[in-house]
Structure 1
Amino acid sequence: MKKTVETEVLIVGGGATGLTASMLLARHGVNSWLVSKYKQTSMLPKAHLLSIKTMEIYRELGVEEAIRAQSCPDAHMRYVGWYAGLAGADPDHGREIARLGAFGRGGEDGDWRAASDNRYANLPQARLEPLLRTHAQALAPGAVHFHHEFRGFREEADGIVATILDRDTGEQYEVHAQYLLACDGGQIVGPQLGVEMEGEAAVATTVSVHFSADLARYGRAHESEDVLNRTILNPETGEPGVLVPMGPDAWGMRSREWVFSMIAAPGDHKQDSDDEAVAKLLRTLGIAREGLQVHQVTRWPLNAVVAARFRVGRAFILGDAAHRMPPAGAHGLNTAVQDSYNLCWKIAMVLRAQAGEGLLDSYEAERQPVARATVDSAYGNWRNAWRIAASFGFSAANGAQQNWQNLRLQWADGPEGEAARRRATQGIGIACSTYHHLNVNYGYTYASGALVADEIPAPASLDSHGDFRPSTKPGHTVPHAWLEDTRGRYSINDLLGEGRFVLIAGEQGDAWCEAARALAAERGLPLDAMTISVREGERFDLRCEWLKRREHGPAGAVLVRPDRFVAWRSMTLAQDPKATLAAALDRILACG
C-alpha cells in the first residue's frame, strides 16, 4: 500500500517563508509536514537584511540569539554610501560622494528605537536558512523533509490530498492535510491553481557575483567602516554596481566574502557570461583578478508582481509565490516572513474551533494590499537608483573625463561646489524611500480583515515612507512602550505574541479585564487581560510611555492580536463590557 501521512498543514517550500511557518505552527500546537525538493537550504546570499518586524518574530520563536551571533555588528551597518569607484590610479578613486543613515543606523535612530525594542539584523540568506531549518526541526521533530518533491494535490470535502516524491528513495506517497501553504516561490502550487501574477514582470535582469577577496587593502576603503551597502560609481567605466559585505567572521571592509550586483537598467536583459560578469566587476571596482575567488555568478529577472489571489480553497499563497519585487529596500524576505506570521495563528485558531472558517479569508484581505504597496515601493526604489546617480552628475553616457569633472564638484569649494552638493542632497533624499522607510516595512496597516474598524483617524504621517506615527487604531501595529517594576524596565512586546490575544485596559478598565477573562474561560480562547497605568493597575507605565500612545481614556481598552496588530478598541467603558467584547471577538474571529 502507498504510504500515507496524516497531518494538519502541508507546507510546500523550505525557504525562510516555509521554515518560519513550520516553527510558528509548532509553537501554536499545530501538526505540519514540510517538503522541499532541494537537498539543502538556499546557497544564495542575496537576501540579507532582516527588518524589525522580522526580528520580533524570530525573537518570539527563539531564533534571534542565533541570528545575531552571526549577524553583522551594528557598528558596520549604520549607513549606505556612494563612492567614486573603489580603487584605481586616480587619487580620488574610492572617495566617498555621499552617505545616508540607513535601516535605523544600527539602533541609533531615535524614531526606530521608539517603534520597537528590536532592531535590524544583517545575515545572508545562505546562513539564515540553515539556522531556521535547525530550529524548525527542533520544534517539529520528524516534520521537516528536504529532498521531498511536491508533485500535485487535489482538494476534497474534508481536506487536501497531495502527492509527494521522496527523491532519495524514489518512493511516492500521499499527505492528507486540512490546509496547504504554498511557500514554493510560485514554482508549482500557484500555477497549478491558475493563480496569475499581476504587475511588471522581468523588467530587467540583475547579475550578481559572490566572491572572496581582501578589499581592505584598496585605496580609501578603511574610511567607511560604518557603511553597509556601497554603490560604486566608477567614472572610468560608467558601469554602476552595489557592493555588499557578507562576513562571515569579520565585517566592514575586513569582510572576506562579498556580493557585487550590477545595477540593471530598465529593459536591459543582456545575459553576460560568467567571465564577462567577473570582468565587469573588476573594471567597476578597479581591482586585480589576483586574490579574487569567485564562488558563483547568479542572474535573476527583476519582477514587480503580486498574485491575483492569496487563497484558493484550502490553499494559501505566501512569500515569493505571492509577491516578487526588486531588492531595493530589502523588503522581499521580510514581507514573506510576515505573511507566515499573519496566517499561522489564524489557522491554529480555526483548527482548534476557536474561530470560524471566515477568519482565514482575512489573510488575503490584509496581506494582498500590503504586498501591492510594498512591491510598488521597491519598484520605485529600483527606478530611483539611476536618478540618484544622475544627481551626482554620473551617467553611463558620459565619458570618464565628464564623470570625473562632475563628481569632483562634490568636493569643491565655492558656489559650484555648493550647488553640486545641494543637487546631490536632493538625490540622496530620493534614496530615503529605500533606506529610511520605517513607515513602509513597520508602519504598514490593515484597513479591513480580522479587526473592528473605528472612525477615529490615526495620527497623519507627514511622509509616506519615513514618518511612522504609532497608533492604537485597529489595523495598526500596537505602539511600543517600556514598562517598569521593582526589577527594572521591560518591553510591552514581552507581553504579546505567542499565539495569544491580549486585552490592555486603562487604570479604570478592570471591568474590561473581567469580561475578557470570563470570555476566555467560556470559549477556550487564548486571551490574556491586564491593566496598564502610571501608578495603578497590574502593570506600571512609570514614564508615561504607554499613556502617551494608548489614545483612549482611563476606562478604555485595546485588544491586540497574536501578530501584534490592534484588533479592536474602546475609548471608554461600555455599559455591558462583556457583551461588547463578545461582539467584537465574534467579528474578529468570524464566529458569527
Structure 2
Amino acid sequence: MEAIEVPVLIVGGGGCGLTASVLLSDQGVDHLLVERHSDTSRIPKAHYLNQRTMEIFRQHGIADDVLAEAAPLELFGKVRWMTTLAGDGPMDRRLIHEMDAFGGGELTPAYAAVGPVLPAKLPQMWLEPILKRHAEERNPGRVLFGHEVTTFSDEGDHVLAELRNVETGESTTVKAKYLIGADGGKFVGPKAGIRMEGPPGLVNTTTAYFSADLSAWWQEGTLITHFLSPKDPDLSSNLIEMGPTWGKKCEQWGLHFAPGPPGRWNAETVIPRIRELLRIPDLDITVHKVTDWIVDAVLADRYRVGRVLIAGDAAHKQPPAVGLGLNTGIQDAHNLAWKLAAILSGRAPESFIDTYEAERRPIGRQNVDWAVAAAQHHQTVIDAIGAGHNIPADRRGRRLEAYFDPSWIGDTTRARALEIFHTHRGGCQSLDMEVGFGYERGAIVPDGSEPPARVPMRNEHTPTSRPGHRLPHAWLARDGERLSTLDLTGTGRFTLITGAQGDAWTRAAARAAEKFSVPITTVRIGAGCAYEDVDGGWAAVRGTGEAGALLIRPDQHVAWRATDGAQDPEQALTEAFAAVLDR
C-alpha cells in the first residue's frame, strides 16, 4: 500500500471513533479511520443512549436509523429489584421495588420538555454497525477495519504513523496533521505519555452474554432488573435485555454477577449458575461469551499531547452506573470535530485545539465522579433491605422476609427502604447530567452570569442560554412545519438567533461571515418572523430580549450572548467571533 497523507487519523473503530468519523465527514474534513479488529463489537457493551447523544445523532442524520432498531422508551423506562425471575418458593419472584428511570413512565413529560428526541436503548453490538455504515458512506475507502497502528511519532507539524494490515502483514506510512486516539486507552494515550489518574481497578465483574427464551417470566419495560438473592450473595446480579428484539421476545441477555474473582466461571460452568439465579432449572441457554472486566474510575491527565488527541474511554473510564461512558465519548467527538474543521480550513489558529481539553476534561471529571458516587450509593440501597454482598448468607433470608412481612413492622421496614430507594433517582433519573452540562472556559465568551442552580440529585434540569451551555430546546413553526430550536443549527456553521427586532444583528452577521470566512446562518424568531414561537416556549428560555442575539456553535452550544441590542452590533459580533475562534 502506498503512503497515505490525510488531515486526521482516527485510531479506534468503536462508538466514539466511528462517531468522530461521521462528524468529521459532515464537517468536510478528509480523514482515515483504522481499527485493528476485523469488524464491530461482538458483545453488547454499553446499551443506553442518553438524550444529548440522541440529539447529536439527530443533528447528523443518524437518529432515525438508531431508533429503527432501538428499544422504545416504554420498553426500558423502569429499574426493578427482585428476588428471582422465576421459581415457586415463598421468596421467589418477589418484587422488592421498581421506579421510573431514564425518561420512562412519569418522567417522560419532563424529558420531552427539554429536547426534541428522547433517550433510546441500543447496545453497542447493534449500534456500531449503524455508525460504521454511515462512516463508510460518507468517507468511502477510508474506514479500514483489520488495520492497526503499530507506532507513531509527533514530528512537530504532523504525525507519522505506521499502519499494518492485520491479515496480510502489509505495512504503510500515514502522515496526518492530527491523530485522534479513540482506542479505549490501549495504545495511543500511553504511547503519547498520557497517564490515567485515579484509584486502581475498583472491582472485577463477571458478565455472561447468552441467548435464552425468558418470555414466560420476563416483565417488559425494564432497563435493568437487579436480583438480590435471599440465599447466596454471589448470585446477586442484574439482568439486561440485549435485543435485537425487545420486550418478552428478546433473544439475547447480559447478566452481570456481583463482584468476585476473575475466572470464576467459563461458558460451561456459568450455565448452572444462571439457572440457579433465575430459578429456571431446565432453561435452554446458549452462552456467547463470559467476560471479566475491571470497573475503573480514571481520568486522563491530559486530553492532548502536541498533535495527538484522545477521546472516549481513552480519556475517561467510569462505572457503568448512570450510563455516562459511551455517551461522554460521543459528546467528546461532537466537541472535537468542528474544532478540527475550523483549524484545518484556516478559520481558526492551531492554538484553538486547546479549547477541546479546556471544555471536555472538566466534564470527564464530573461524569467519572458522578458515576462513582451513584455506584457506591446503589450499594447503600441494597444494604438498606439487607441484601448487600456483605450480609452473611444465614441472615439474608431473614432480612428479606422482614421486608415482605405483612405486619406493621413490615410496613415500617418498607417505608424506610422506600425513602432510601428514592435517593437512587441520582443514578437513574439524572436528566441534568445528560443535558445540563456547560463549559466555563474555552471557545465561548462568558457574559458574567451565573449558571442555574443544580439540584443535588441532578434529576431536574433548568434550560439556559448562558454561554457554554447547550442551546435550550423549544418547538417552533415555519411554513406549517414543526421543528426544534436545535434543528436551526448546522454542521460546519454558526447560527445567530435573534428576535423580531434583530435586523441590525442580521446585517452584522453577514459582515462577520465575510470577515472571518465563517458560514453563519441567521434566524429570527418572533411575531412577523420566519420562525414562530408557537407556544411561548422559546420566549421562556431564550434569556434575551427581542433585540438580543445568541451565537450558536456548530455543536449546538451557546458561544456568545447579547441580552439586548448593542450600540455597534458589527463591532460586538466581530469581537465575539475573534474571542470564540481565538483570533
Structure 1 length as normaliser, TM-score? 0.95
Distance 1:11 1:472 in 2: 33
Alignment pair present for 1:139 and 2:138 = yes
Q: Which stretch has the larger CA shift, 436-445 or 406-415?
A: 406-415
The answer to whether the 8 Å contact 2:91/2:230 transfers is: no
The offset of 1:400, in angstroms, is: 5.8
Deviation sequence 1:25-78 (CA, Å, 0-9, x none):
111111001111111111121211111111112122222222111111322112
Q: 1:253 to 1:387 in 2, by over 3 A?
A: farther
User: Cα gap change, 1:106/1:119 in structure 2, threshold over 3 Å: closer, same or farther?
Assistant: farther
Match of 2:486 in 1: 493
Once residues 271 and 557 of structure 2 are traced to their aligned partners in structure 1, the CA distance between those partners, rounded to angstroms, is 46
- Equivalent positions of 1:235-314 (< 5 A) are 235-238=230-233, 239-249=235-245, 251-264=246-259, 268-274=260-266, 275-288=268-281, 290-314=283-307
Say if 1:106 and 1:429 are closer, same or farther in 2 by CA, change over 3 A.
Answer: closer
* Residues in 2 aligned to 1:499 and 1:408: alpha-carbon distance in whole angstroms: 60
Q: Is 1:570 aligned to 2:562, yes or no?
A: yes
Q: CA deviation at 1:397?
A: 4.7
Change (3 A) 1:479 1:107: farther
Q: CA deviation at 1:132?
A: 0.9
- Residue 83 of structure 1 deviates from its aligned partner by 0.4
Answer with 147-156 or 399-408: which moved more. 399-408
- Find the partner of 1:434 among 423, 427, 436: 427
Q: How does 1:29-428 map to 2 (within 5 A)?
A: 29-105=28-104, 109-218=108-217, 221=218, 224-238=219-233, 239-249=235-245, 251-264=246-259, 268-274=260-266, 275-288=268-281, 290-398=283-391, 402-428=395-421
CA–CA distance in structure 1, aligned partners of residues 156 and 481 of structure 2: 54
Task: Give CA deviations for 1:189-224 in whole Å, capped at 9, x if unaligned.
Answer: 111111100012211111100011122224xx4xx3
Give the stretch that moved more between structures: 240-249 or 58-67. 58-67
Which SS does the other structure have where 2:226 is aligned? strand
1:553 equivalenced with 2:545 (yes/no): yes
Distance in 1 separating the partners of 2:343 and 2:24:
12
In 1: Cα distance, 2:75 partner to 2:180 partner: 37
| AA of the residue aligned to 1:203 | L
Once the two structures are overlaid, the 10-residue window that deviates more, 277-286 or 91-100, is 277-286
Rounded Cα–Cα distance in structure 2 between residues aligned with 1:28 and 1:106: 37
Q: Which ranges of structure 2 fall in alignment gaps of 5 or more residues?
A: none
Shift of 1:399: 5.6
The offset of 1:280, in angstroms, is 3.3
Deviation of the 1:409 alpha carbon: 4.3
Inter-CA distance 330–470: structure 2 relative to 1 (3 Å threshold) = same
The answer to which of 27-36 and 418-427 deviates more is 418-427
In percent, how many aligned pairs have the same letter? Answer: 38
Task: Give the RMSD, CA atoms, in angstroms.
Answer: 1.8
Rounded to whole Å, the distance in 2 between the matches of 1:398 and 1:58 is 44
Query: Residue type matched to 1:552 in 2?
Result: T
Aligned to 1:448: 441
- Farther-moved stretch of structure 1 (551-560 vs 279-288): 279-288
Work out whether residues 205 and 262 of structure 2, in 8 Å CA contact, stay in contact via their aligned partners in 1. no
Looking at structure 2, the residues matched to 559 and 136 of structure 1 have their Cα atoms a distance apart, in angstroms, of: 29
Aligned residue type for 1:561: R
What secondary structure, in the 3-state scheme, does the structure 2 residue paired with 1:581 have?
helix
Unaligned stretches of 5+ residues in structure 1: none
Q: How many Å apart are 1:253 and its aligned residue?
A: 3.4
**Displacement of 1:84:** 1.2
* Distance of aligned partners of 1:175 and 1:403 in 2 relative to their CA distance in 1, 3 Å threshold: same
Deviates more, 1:428-437 or 1:558-567: 428-437
1:541 aligned residue (515, 533, 554) = 533
Query: Given residue 145 of structure 1, which amino acid in structure 2 is its aligned partner?
Result: L
Determine if the alignment matches structure 1 residue 462 to structure 2 residue 455: yes
**Segment drifting more, 61-70 vs 43-52:** 61-70
What is the SS of the residue equivalent to 2:224? strand
| Contact map agreement 1:357 1:590 (CA 8 A) in 2 | no
Question: Contact 2:471/2:486 (CA < 8 Å) preserved in 1?
Answer: no
Q: Is the 8 A contact 2:205 2:292 kept in 1?
A: yes
Pairwise CA distance, 1:424: 1.8
TM-score by length of 2: 0.96
Q: Distance in 1 between matches of 2:452 and 2:147?
A: 49
Query: 1:14 and 1:106 mapped to 2: Cα distance?
Result: 35
> Retained in 2: the 8 A contact 1:325–1:378?
yes
